[in-house]
Amino acid sequence: MPRSLEVEQMFLSGRMLPDHSYYMQGTYPEPEAIIALSNSVQLQSRLWSKVDWTEKELKTAAFWMDNSAIGFCSTDGGYLLAPDGRKIGAWYSQRDISVVREPSPGVVEVYPFDFSPSSSCRRQFLRDQI
């Protein structure tokens, strides 16, 4: 998933994208991932929870996600891309890999975000499970 400092700052400032719907993986106020999905596509998923946040609530979630980072584990943001490469939204998470499928035109599936195999966040997560 391509990273973008601009997108990361957008989430941290609580600035919401117009004509986008917001979804989270996990629970508020510290979800595992947040996506902003363009209203030009429909999300097909039972795993993502749609949220109707204010800018203050988005900023709060991003703050807690960012401040839960320990050591070298950081929270990143970037663009959410359809399989054909077009931008369909944005993401924010410590987990930095996901898959986006388009089973039919205008309908997308965004798989849950996970840690990349070499991620320091993954190592921290595995240590916390012990």
pLDDT of residue 116: 80
Q: What is the pTM of this model?
A: 0.88
**Token pair of 84, please?**
């054909």
The per-residue pLDDT for 48 is 96
User: Quick one: pLDDT at residue 108?
Assistant: 98
Structure tokens, 52: 């109707």
SS3 letters for 61-108? HHHHHHHCCCCCCCCEEEEEECCCCCEEEEEEECCCECCEEEEECCEE
Q: Give how far the C-alpha of residue 96 lies from the chain's centroid of Cα atoms, to the nearest Å.
A: 8
Q: Report mean pLDDT in 10-residue bins for the chain, 130 residues.
A: 91 97 92 96 95 96 78 84 96 91 96 82 71
